[in-house]
Structure 1
Amino acid sequence: MSRSVLGTLDVIAAPERPDLLAAPTAAALAALGAERAGRIGVAEIDPDLADTAAFCQAYGSPPEFSANCVVVSGKRAGETRYAACLVLATTRADVNGVVRKRLDVRKASFAPMDDAVDLTGMAYGGITPLGLPEGWPLWIAPEVAAAEAVVLGSGIRGSKLAVPGDILVALPNAEVVEALAR
């Protein structure tokens, strides 16, 4: 667990505080096994400070260590396709280029908030790649994959996770995608 990415917060091993995790996140941690799950840190935060900029400022966490998990969608032949993209908070996912092509849709966009919340079982502003719906692709920017640890949501707005990049890359349906972020 890397303390520095979470700034001034007290960090503990995530499996020790399941109350700070959304149900899908807790289930995903359990599926990782004790060793890998124990490398993920969790810290309780003020839910009103869950958005990246507010979080970084309030807790002294460097923005370059924060990552955003965004849910994107697009339609093809009447079917809605979803994916999650994990990019550093200092960048943006290339939704209209790389993501659209990978989803194989004419137009991709951020999924509507209600859909993202309902489908993931997580709070808006706290969606994390740990516990995404089965079968969803998880596309990870190379900078996130290479990080010692990044700050992510926990599935709720009242805590943050510190997750090593190698654990993220090993998640189901995860793939490192060049040029995902700009």
Structure 2
Amino acid sequence: MIASGQWQSLFLSHIQPFGLFWAIPFYFLSTDWAATIILICQAAFLVLPVIGLYRHFGIIPALAFSFYFPLWYNALFDFHIDHLAIPILFGFFFFERKGKLPHAIFLAVLLALVKEPFALQTAFCGLYLSVARKNNLSGPLLTLFGVVYFTLATQYIQHYFNSPFISITGGWDLVSNTTFGWLGNSKQEIILFLITNP
């Protein structure tokens, strides 16, 4: 779509700057090889925190993390850029605990760049720093960055750079109706379905 001049489709409903890096294998390799590579990398990134947990906290936390099912649910179905949030957020807490605040702040900023909803996690990383390090200005600044980035991303960038088939202003569109149509045809039907079919 972008190749045909439709720049309004640039983000396709989400702002994921790291997606550019994950697209590189598709430029050099066949689709099958590139897909295999990014799925292997996804699994490797999900396992990455195990190394830090084992080296600094022992076998029990490393095993607990390894056997935590929601962690592997990220890799269960297809490739999702969201998997990057796990090692980045782990790194934030790891470096903050080690007293390496610039590293922790850098990772919290990177967290916002995974996908725009993760900017809210960045804001809460700032709140955490505000509580954990009371006399440090980095916490409020990180919270401010997360909130401003989230607001700009959702209220301006997504509004002007999305496909006309993807509605971000509410209501139902072609994409959401075909994807989630089995839940119901309106918000009320969906809420009723979710309550009555747990």
TM range (shorter): under 0.3
More helix by share: 2
Give me the TM-score of the superposition, normalised by structure 1: 0.26
Give me the TM-score of the superposition, normalised by structure 2: 0.24
More strand by share: 1
Q: Which has the larger radius of gyration?
A: 2
* Greater RCO, CA 8 A, separation 6+: 1
